[in-house]
Chains A and B, each alone.
Chain A
Amino acid sequence: MPAALLILVMSFIPMAQAFILSLQTGRGANFTFAEPLWSNYTRLFEDEIFKLTLQNTFIYLLIQVPIMLIVALVLASVLNSKNLKFKSFWRTAIFLPCAVSLVAYSLVFRTIFANDGFVNDLLLGLSLIDAPINWLGDPTTARFVIILGLLWRWTGYNMVFYLAALQNIDHSTIEAAKVDGANAFKTFWFVTVPQLKPMILLTAIMSTNGTLQLFDESWALTRGGPAYQTMSMSHYLFEVSFLKNPNFGYASALSYVILILVAILAFIQLKVGDKRD
């Protein structure tokens, strides 16, 4: 009960207030209801920068989440194999990135991908490129660096979920498949993966949710640049609230759009993924 009360006060009431705020406009702290009420929402459809951040966020989502989950799954099954040595070392090493402070890792990534950074030195040294690549200065490569950062940081995190789930799979099912003559891949695909399905669903929803709310990488690695090409929706939300002339009504509308997107995607994933009942 106290927990429910806390959630009500800390979460649902502000949620309702934010919704009311999203229907209001005004300069500074003087708000009046917008005319028409939903004008903050219609405004979003005319906002070129918002559309760009929406597009950026979905690029991150569509490229990063599938790669991350597949790699995490593969790593988990490799680490779960009985013959692997130094198992806990590998597990720790792969999980460690997500224990690293966001700012610290962003700084390291920025240094590595600087014009005179490690990656350029390496590529130049191997004669793969003639001139340094301006990694964070070009929209395509800057997005690539952000996706790489996300992969580096979150793959291990998801892997741990899969590992936990793998421990719970009855080994006899895999033995049975082997006895029936299935090769390693077939065993993995037809026996292991179906049993991991609830966990895959959970990680997919969590990652989707996390990516839609992506802020840190966009802020710390590129500041959304060049020319808004790498800015995420949440980063834009922050800009609208605190860096530009504050427009909290509009910002609340933006946050509700993110909420609705998360809810829709989670719902679709549940529909597609969960066929048990």
Chain B
Amino acid sequence: MHAFSKKVTMAVAVALPLTLALGACSAGGGGGGGGAGGDENTLTAWAWDPTFNINALEEAEKVYQEDHPDFELEIVETPWEDLEPKLTTLAQSQQFGELPDIFLMQNNAFQKNGVNYPDLFSEIDTDAVDFSQFPEAVTAYSTVDGVNYGVPFDNGTAIQALRTDVLEEAGYTIDDFTDITWDQFITQAEDVLAKTGMPLLSGQAGAADTVMMILQSAGASLFDDEGNPTIDDNPALDEAIDIYTRLVDSGVFVEVNSWDEYLGTFVNGSVAGTINGIWIVGSIQGAEDQAGKWAATNLPRAEGIDGATQFSANGGSSWVVSSNANVDLATDFLATTFAGSTELYDTILPTSGAVANWIPAGGSSVYAEPNEFFGGQPIFADVVRFGAEVPSNNTGAYYYEGRDAVSAAITQIIGGADLKTALGEAQANVEFAME
């Protein structure tokens, strides 16, 4: 008997840390700023990047203080990897009192959180914020069931950025890569590779970013209008994966394993270009020895897909007024700054490289200024112009499930698996997750 009870004690002792770990998952959270609790001139906000969106908030605070001298903004730096679990935890435990007034949300995660936890959000008053001044493709991310829940912040409009010195060595100019198809791109990139030894693109192996950008450039996605996954019967996806496979097989697209390695490929000059959201410019400009040797243009178009354009997007984020907010003040703050102040966008463009989604900002002279790093090209004005033409697509609440399943399928396809089988599996996995 004694021996038995000892074994039980032992087993329990062994099992305990596990439950503690799970307990920690469901508890925790909290901390940070208590939203509407403060005085009526103070707002709290969660954002994650001190050089980027936090910087933008600080500048917005200054802009708003011009007319509201008593106004104060308390910013709590919260990395996105922490912010989302925090939101999940608060919503799951119904502790909405712990929410800040304003928080920033990744556009790709917007539908998921909006559908699962509508109680986290306050509707944005369309009388206060004129959503027609934002590209439709961008407001679509933060619209759930026809209601706007977010004020778009940074621009995820995709650019094709290339090293002009490398192109020149191979006998090309940036114009040869403008308004082209992917077929033309691959032919020319192979030529550049043969003549200079430099691939033009790189990316993380197993990341579906490039494929997702090709899809969006034709307004296609992994889901139909009802939100059902259309992975195994999706000609646009088949074509996008085919393009990606050809890019990798021909050697013009180098696959690496981590984000740092990806940035390293063009910063160290082993790869002569990249295709990504405009925010990648911050990293490109990190290589000061390459100043003046870059140019940016629109994306190749996927001719095999109906409705293909030269424009797409990757990433971007939007401001949310939480359900715990001082709604009037928070809405007014966002409406007068991120949805109403060219002054703000003119300030944050040079300091943090945050490109506006707010269309009127693109007309400002700051945007039209030549960028020396890009050989005097006014890239930000170009990007705002591109942004207005990005086709809208349906990310759906299950965007991450879809994207990860397709990433896994791409890995298998690159490794030699059959396209139909791999995508069939991906479809099954997403359907399973949605049950």
Q: Which A residues touch B425, using CB under 8 A?
A: 48
B23 CB contact (under 8 Å) in A11, A110, A262: A11
- Chain A CB within 8 A of B132 CB: no
- Chain B CB within 8 A of A245 CB: yes
> Interface code A244-255, partner B: CB below 8 Å = 1, 0 otherwise?
111010001001
Q: Which A residues touch B23, using CB under 8 A?
A: 10-11, 14-15, 18
A11 near B19: Cβ-Cβ < 8 Å: yes
Q: Which B residues touch A248, using CB under 8 A?
A: 26, 92
A262 near B15: Cβ-Cβ < 8 Å: yes
A244 near B19: Cβ-Cβ < 8 Å: no
A225 near B411: Cβ-Cβ < 8 Å: yes
A225 near B206: Cβ-Cβ < 8 Å: yes
Query: A227-B412, A243-B400 are contacts. A262–B433 as well, Cβ < 8 Å?
Result: no
- Chain B CB within 8 A of A267 CB: yes
Return B106 CB to nearest CB of chain A, in Å.
12
Query: A29-B94, A241-B25 are contacts. A263–B15 as well, Cβ < 8 Å?
Result: yes
Query: A227-B408, A277-B3 are contacts. A258–B256 as well, Cβ < 8 Å?
Result: no
Q: Which B residues touch A17, using CB under 8 A?
A: 26
Q: Which B residues touch A115, using CB under 8 A?
A: 256-257, 261
Q: Which B residues touch A48, using CB under 8 A?
A: 425, 428-429, 432
Q: Which A residues touch B25, using CB under 8 A?
A: 238, 241
Q: Which A residues touch B19, using CB under 8 A?
A: 11-12, 14-15, 18, 259
> Interface code B243-268, partner A: CB below 8 Å = 1, 0 otherwise?
00000000000011110010000000
B20 near A10: Cβ-Cβ < 8 Å: yes
A259 CB contact (under 8 Å) in B18, B27, B407: B18
Q: Which B residues touch A12, using CB under 8 A?
A: 19
- Chain A CB within 8 A of B421 CB: no
Q: Which B residues touch A196, using CB under 8 A?
A: none
Q: Which B residues touch A266, using CB under 8 A?
A: 10-11, 14-15
A220-277 interface (Cβ within 8 A of B): 225-228, 234, 238, 241-246, 248, 252, 255, 258-259, 262-263, 266-267, 270, 277
- Chain B CB within 8 A of A55 CB: no
B206 near A262: Cβ-Cβ < 8 Å: no
A262 near B14: Cβ-Cβ < 8 Å: yes
- Chain B CB within 8 A of A159 CB: no
Query: A114-B257, A246-B116 are contacts. A258–B11 as well, Cβ < 8 Å?
Result: no
> Interface code B311-342, partner A: CB below 8 Å = 1, 0 otherwise?
00000000000000000000000000000000
Q: Which B residues touch A277, using CB under 8 A?
A: 2-3
Return A30 CB to nearest CB of chain B, in Å.
10
- Chain A CB within 8 A of B377 CB: no
Task: Name the residue on B nearest A248 (C-beta).
Answer: B92
Q: In the bound complex, what is the Cα–Cα distance between A116 and B115 (angstroms)?
A: 43
Q: In the bound complex, what is the Cα–Cα distance between A110 and B261 (angstroms)?
A: 10
Task: Name the residue on B nearest A25 (C-beta).
Answer: B435
Return B145 CB to nearest CB of chain A, in Å.
14
B397 CB contact (under 8 Å) in A114, A227, A245, A255: A245
**How many B residues touch the partner, as a band?**
35 or more
Q: Which A residues touch B84, using CB under 8 A?
A: 242-243
> Interface code B108-140, partner A: CB below 8 Å = 1, 0 otherwise?
000010011111000000000000000000000
Q: Which B residues touch A181, using CB under 8 A?
A: none
A49 near B429: Cβ-Cβ < 8 Å: yes
A46 near B432: Cβ-Cβ < 8 Å: yes
Q: Which A residues touch B85, using CB under 8 A?
A: 242
Q: In the bound complex, what is the Cα–Cα distance between A179 and B205 (angstroms)?
A: 62
Task: Name the residue on A nearest B433 (C-beta).
Answer: A244
A213 near B18: Cβ-Cβ < 8 Å: yes
Q: Which A residues touch B397, using CB under 8 A?
A: 245
A262 near B22: Cβ-Cβ < 8 Å: no
Return A166 CB to nearest CB of chain B, in Å.
23
B17 near A213: Cβ-Cβ < 8 Å: yes
B17 near A28: Cβ-Cβ < 8 Å: no
A107-146 interface (Cβ within 8 A of B): 110, 114-116, 134-137
Q: In the bound complex, what is the Cα–Cα distance between A155 and B18 (angstroms)?
A: 22
Task: Name the residue on A nearest B400 (C-beta).
Answer: A244
A209 near B257: Cβ-Cβ < 8 Å: no
Q: Which B residues touch A27, using CB under 8 A?
A: 115-116
Q: In the bound complex, what is the Cα–Cα distance between A6 and B404 (angstroms)?
A: 40
Task: Name the residue on B nearest A251 (C-beta).
Answer: B25
- Chain B CB within 8 A of A205 CB: yes
Q: In the bound complex, what is the Cα–Cα distance between A246 and B118 (angstroms)?
A: 13
CB pairs A–B below 8 angstroms (12 shown): A18-B19, A28-B117, A47-B432, A134-B255, A135-B257, A209-B17, A225-B407, A228-B408, A245-B116, A248-B26, A248-B92, A266-B14
- List of 3 A-B pairs having minimum Cβ-Cβ separation, nearest first: A227-B408, A14-B23, A227-B411
